[in-house]
Amino acid sequence: MKNVIKLRKGLDINLKGTACKGTISMLKSKEYALVPDSFCGVTPKIVVHEGDKVKAGEALFVSKQYPEVKFASPVSGTVEAIPRGERRKILYVKVRADEEQQFLDFGSKDVNLLDAESVRKTLLDAGIFGYIKQLPYAVSTTPDTVPKAIFVSAFRDMPLASDFEVELEGNETDFQTGLNALSKIQKTYLGISSKQTAKALVNAENVEINIFEGKCPAGNVGVQVNRVCPVNKGEVVWTVDPACVIIIGRLFNTGKVDLRRVIAVAGSEIKEPSYIEALIGTPLSIVLQGKLAKEDHIRIINGNPLTGKKATMEDYIGAATSEVTVIPEGDNVDEFLGWILPRTKEYSTSHSYFSWLFGKREYNLDARIKGGERHMIMSGEYDKVLPMDIYGEYLIKAIIAGDIEKMELLGIYEVSPEDFALAEFVDSSKLELQHIVREGLDMLRKENA
């Protein structure tokens, strides 16, 4: 018997440029880079030097606090550069790939015969333990945590998000092995959408399946945790990206760290939005080669338009990147008297724009904020798109005020910045809610350390 959970709140934003499933080609690059910033909460400590030879699966850096948490190289090759930014911050570790790839062999294992400790140890040794995230704080988890549950959300519903079923095709066995491995550590919950039909999801074993019906952000793992098994103070829940479950499964089935993932290249500024297969660490210049409809006044996003980071061609596919999106930047658009004209091309949840006259259609939105930052004027805006038992507006105010006790009482342990992405989108006061939540989480993490 599967639980069906209906969510009434939320918002689906229909954007132009959804990736079409077709032949999925494997992209190859001469160089790859692992970016420490894509593992939130990890302070990296470099364990290689420029010129070192590494194999795929060998650690490039480790967590400073927990040196047993390693971060594996996606390819075998020579460490070419370890550039640093402000305050000696490591920007990325670049590896020039060998023609012939060599993998560090961790030995294929039958997960069913392993205990929780061996699974943890294998993940740590192979350098993919750090891909597991946790609530509270929405950071890369640490080995000293004992999760009360593990959550995997197998669907993405942010605008232009990649369809996980496309990614799953051909990787069903690895996905199930990954779920088996996680369920060895703790009870694992798999969240699927009511629209998904893939057998590997519907008939997944060793996990409790919850079916979610509703608009975005039903696919956010934080929302699913809040509905199924809310995080209380002092508790930890692990959350794992479904693509990472496949990578974990591959590790046990083949003994190799194979960081391949299927990525959607989407957005209105992409000529033919489609899926590609690439390793984590592939340069975006390779991903976007020949795909851009125009070269200037565009915004490249490492991720989806709501939660992704603004990027450049010099950036790399991050650990959590499931799509690369390109939309117009909009910095050259001057809309005359926009505050009063009917405006039919702009998307708004408010009926004060006449776009609603045209029914459901695809919008081509740019990256403009479209207004000035104000104090919170309208009430209840966040509540409409936050399907959690949380008073978002009051939580945000508590964070802005730096009131730690209030934040705890209002449920900050249950949220991650991405849960507030839609609230930030609809916010007429144009506040940077995800940034505010991140600051609040960092503040609490520091206080509780």
Stretch that binds other proteins, among 30-38, 189-197, 250-258, 328-336 (CB under 8 A): 328-336
Judged by beta carbon, residue 74 or residue 417, the one nearer other proteins is: 417
Asked if 409 touches other proteins (CB under 8 A), the answer is yes
In the block, residue with structure tokens 């993919």: 128
Judged by beta carbon, residue 51 or residue 380, the one nearer other proteins is: 380
Q: Helix H segments across 102-260?
A: 116-125, 164-168, 172-185, 199-202, 221-228, 242-254
Q: Which parts of 139-168 interact with other proteins (CB under 8 A)?
A: 159
List strands edge to edge, sheet with 53-54: 31-34, 93-97, 77-81, 53-54
Task: Give the number of other CB atoms < 10 A from CB of residue 130.
Answer: 27
Beta bridge partners of 39: none
Q: SS3 for 1?
A: coil
Binding residue for other proteins, selected from 26, 378, 400, 401, defined by CB under 8 A: 378
User: Shortest distance, CB of residue 136 to other proteins, whole angstroms?
Assistant: 13
Q: How many residues bind other proteins (CB under 8 A)?
A: 75
Cβ(324)–Cβ(392) under 8 Å?
no
Alpha-carbon distance of 442 to 449, in angstroms, equals 10
Asked if 346 touches other proteins (CB under 8 A), the answer is yes
Report residue 225 as tokens.
Answer: 């945790």
Judged by beta carbon, residue 67 or residue 371, the one nearer other proteins is: 371
Binding residue for other proteins, selected from 144, 339, 358, 360, defined by CB under 8 A: 339
Residues in CB range of 24: below 8 A, 6 or more apart: 166, 262, 274, 275, 276, 277
Judged by beta carbon, residue 181 or residue 441, the one nearer other proteins is: 441
Q: Which parts of 286-305 interact with other proteins (CB under 8 A)?
A: 299, 301, 305
Helix (H) or strand (E) holding 45: strand 44-46
User: Shortest distance, CB of residue 351 to other proteins, whole angstroms?
Assistant: 5
Cβ(19)–Cβ(264) under 8 Å?
yes
Q: SS3 for 219?
A: coil
Binding residue for other proteins, selected from 432, 439, 442, 445, defined by CB under 8 A: 432
Binding residue for other proteins, selected from 31, 157, 323, 393, defined by CB under 8 A: 393
Alpha-carbon distance of 168 to 261, in angstroms, equals 10
Stretch that binds other proteins, among 29-37, 130-138, 139-147, 360-368 (CB under 8 A): 360-368
Stretch that binds other proteins, among 27-35, 65-73, 87-95, 349-357 (CB under 8 A): 349-357
Q: Which parts of 10-29 interact with other proteins (CB under 8 A)?
A: 13, 15
Asked if 366 touches other proteins (CB under 8 A), the answer is yes
Alpha-carbon distance of 70 to 403, in angstroms, equals 35
User: Shortest distance, CB of residue 191 to other proteins, whole angstroms?
Assistant: 21
User: Shortest distance, CB of residue 260 to other proteins, whole angstroms?
Assistant: 26
Alpha-carbon distance of 137 to 6, in angstroms, equals 26
User: Shortest distance, CB of residue 109 to other proteins, whole angstroms?
Assistant: 35
Binding residue for other proteins, selected from 233, 271, 294, 361, defined by CB under 8 A: 233
